[in-house]
Chains A and B, each alone.
Chain A
Amino acid sequence: AQKVTQAQTEISVVEKEDVTLDCVYETRDTTYYLFWYKQPPSGELVFLIRRNSFDEQNEISGRYSWNFQKSTSSFNFTITASQVVDSAVYFCALSEALNNAGNMLTFGGGTRLMVKP
């Protein structure tokens, strides 16, 4: 069965520090999709990025970057020069292509990031 592990439950940094959120996944499918979502204190879930299993290119979007490595089944998320507004819970999620008619997302437990001024 699929599984997503976010070993860091809480991380605290000071503003302008770089921080990396780890995500390790397990799946038997060769085709799958990985996601990161942000849940700020207001509670909504905000989509950040999607990656399919055939695209291992790293991605950068402003201060955000993602490192996808199939060899280690990891999809890590780095925030450069963190800001107080980055404080949130971040979820990594997996969606398998096979036997997933409901397009179900399997979420990790989340990492609470606190950025202090």
Chain B
Amino acid sequence: EAQVTQNPRYLITVTGKKLTVTCSQNMNHEYMSWYRQDPGLGLRQIYYSMNVEVTDKGDVPEGYKVSRKEKRNFPLILESPSPNQTSLYFCASTHYLGSEQYFGPGTRLTVT
């Protein structure tokens, strides 16, 4: 089954404790992205990757890092999480520019 998976689905952590949210897709897509969804602010792109070892900032990259060492995986790293990073995070993948993006199930992160 074609899908995007994310782990964990729910995470409660404390300020400053490094964490990684994993994302994996099995559709051999070139493009992958991370979005965060916040009430009143909608969905905003954090980082994206056009292929292995090619990543760049989206609209709201501050406080996040990513890597793309393999085509299928695109982890999101929060080196020192802060409460303003409490959000619902989505990973997405797509085959080419302009095509539909397929989203993972979401990771609900709470930073206290």
CB distance from B61 to the nearest CB of A (A): 11
CB contact list, B83-112 vs A, under 8 A? 88, 90, 92, 94, 97-106, 108
B33 near A103 with CB under 8 A, answer yes
Interface of B is mostly: strand
- The docked-state distance in angstroms from the alpha carbon of A37 to that of B42 is 13
Q: Answer whether A104 and B58 are a contact pair too, CB < 8 Å, given A45-B90, A109-B42.
A: yes
Q: In the complex, A100 Cα to B99 Cα: how many Å?
A: 13
For the complex, give the distance between the alpha carbons of A104 and B97 in Å. 9
CA A50 to CA B92, docked complex, whole Å: 15
Minimum CB–CB distance from A57 to chain B (whole Å) comes to: 17
| Least CB distance, A28 to chain B, in whole angstroms | 16
Beta-carbon contact of A103 and B97 below 8 Å: yes
Segment at the A interface, from B14-22, B43-51, B70-78: B43-51
A82 to B54, CA, bound (A): 44
**Interface residues, chain B, CB within 8 Å of chain A?**
31, 33, 35, 42-43, 45, 48, 50, 56, 58-59, 88, 90, 92, 94, 97-106, 108
- Chain A positions near chain B (C-beta within 8 angstroms): 31, 33, 35, 37, 43-45, 47, 50, 52, 91, 95, 97, 100-105, 107-110
